[in-house]
A and B are shown apart, each in its own frame.
Chain A
Amino acid sequence: MAGKLLLEVITPEHLLLSKQVDEVIAPGTDGEFGVLPGHAAFLTTLKIGELQYKIGDTWSYMAVLWGYAEVNPTKVTILAEIAEKAENINVERAAQKVAEAEQRLQTGGLPSDLKEAQISLEKARLRKKIAERTRR
């Protein structure tokens, strides 16, 4: 093992996570990417998606909504607009949000409203998925 990666997740509100991890999978705009220690340096934007990281043999999950990731051989920095740890997400609330957003999409309206609804649906689905994953 080539050592560990320092994973830092930072949002405008606070430093959410700073840990030594073995592997990171993050949602880049051009698709998910995995990072192992020693990865070549690169910089990418993030979309709405799931951030996964492995410490030892256990995987942990986190929701990230937009942002940037900087990858260095020994360090991954995630600057997210919004990020939530799976254990902090309320499943019921997330499920409710999914339903709300779906309904909004169905009732229709201005294109800008629809787009907004689409985004919030995506956000809500993601939250729900991640929260359910840790439940199991």
Chain B
Amino acid sequence: MPSLQSLRRKITSVKNTQKITKAMKMVAAAKLKRAQDRILSARPYAHKMREILANLSRRVNRSAHPLLQKRTGNKIEILVVTSDRGLCGGFNTNIVRKAVETLREHEGHGHKVAVSLVGRKSRDFFRRRNWALRQQWTEVFDKLSFEHALDIGQDLTEHFVKGTFDELYVIYNEFKSAIQQRVIVERLFPIEALETDGTAAATLGGSYEYEPDEEELLEALLPKHFQIQAYRILLESSAAEQGARMAAMDGATRNAGELIKKVTLHYNKTRQTAITKELMDIVGGAEALK
């Protein structure tokens, strides 16, 4: 049986842990609020942008701009977006699992795969694996700004044009609600053309007219599109991360509470037994003196 002292120590230690998890939950909740506001306000713009691009790529000649081309090559790149910090439940594990699954699938089709990473957690995982790592960005989530998205967007567009990869998939957590995240696999390159049936195409009219000219417009619009999408993905992931952490820490706080209860009960029982035993000893001793 554990000694009273060790039980006391155990209780104190769990209580301290509980304090930490509680504090982390509070912090996550505060950060979540901010991250949530940011993603919710950034979404309409990004979605509209994608809509316009999807619409556009249906109408224009794909050879009009290098960023629009659709190559038949088999070089696939996966951009894995995880967090920098842990302690957020299944947040990173889900992403990494999905990433591995996707990688295997493409390998099965005979594609050449490479990985790019955002977040320290995915780096920790892929560093020890055999897939080719092309690029990594870490420590972006602490002070997430458009600059990071700019950086990522530029890198990706550059390498797509150069032919480093023919298709790029992004795997990230989408922020569904404060307690729900969804793992999303999204194809960023090449741009997905809008699927329309005949009637929709008719109402949308034929080809676009452009002002100023087509080339200039695409040159302005396309790089911007990828930056905006990168920004949205980072924001999604950052909001989802805080949500996941809050839920995980809430669970941990509750578990610690239960543990404290159990150990305290055990402690009290042990103490009671010790007292009873001592009393018996005293009574026994007094009897013997008579």
Contacts and interface: CB of A to CB of B under 8 A. Distances in A.
Contacts, number: 70
A52 interface: no
Contact of B205 (A12, A30, A72): A72
Interface string B197-236: 0000001111111111000110011000000100000000
A13 B41 contact: yes
Interface stretch (A42-50, A88-96, A102-110, A127-135): A42-50
B48 interface: yes
B260 interface: no
Nearest to A80: B45
A14 B55 CA distance: 22
A68 B221 contact: yes
A122 interface: no
Contact size range, A: 20 to 34
B44 A30 contact: no
B205 A41 contact: yes
B41 A44 contact: no
B212 A30 contact: yes
A45 B208 CA distance: 13
Contact of A72 (B48, B204, B217): B204
Nearest to B204: A72
A111 to B, nearest CB: 23
Nearest to A77: B48
A13 B235 CA distance: 13
B124 to A, nearest CB: 32
A14 B211 contact: no
Interface string A1-15: 000000010111111
Given A43-B52, A44-B217, A45-B217, A73 B205 contact: yes
B49 interface: yes
A70 B44 contact: no
A29 B211 contact: yes
A43 B221 CA distance: 10
A80 to B, nearest CB: 9
What does DSSP make chain B's interface, helix, strand, loop or mixed?
A: helix
B209 A68 contact: no
A43 B44 contact: no
B210 A70 contact: no
What does DSSP make chain A's interface, helix, strand, loop or mixed?
A: strand
B125 to A, nearest CB: 32
Contacts of B204: 41, 72-73
B56 interface: yes
Contact of A73 (B52, B203, B216, B221): B203
B42 interface: yes
Contact of A44 (B42, B44, B210): B210
A13 B212 CA distance: 26
A127 B137 CA distance: 39
A79 B208 CA distance: 17
A40 interface: yes
A60 interface: no
Contacts of B49: 79
Given A11-B45, A14-B44, A68-B52, A43 B203 contact: no
A87 B69 CA distance: 44
B66 to A, nearest CB: 18
A17 to B, nearest CB: 11
Given A10-B45, A12-B228, A79-B45, A41 B210 contact: no
A45 B216 CA distance: 9
Contact of B211 (A45, A73, A74): A45
B259 to A, nearest CB: 45
Interface of A: 8, 10-15, 28-30, 33, 40-45, 68, 70, 72-74, 77, 79
Interface of B: 41-42, 44-45, 48-49, 51-52, 55-56, 203-212, 216-217, 220-221, 228
Given A30-B212, A43-B56, A43-B217, 8 more contacts: A10-B44, A12-B228, A15-B44, A40-B205, A41-B205, A70-B52, A72-B204, A77-B51
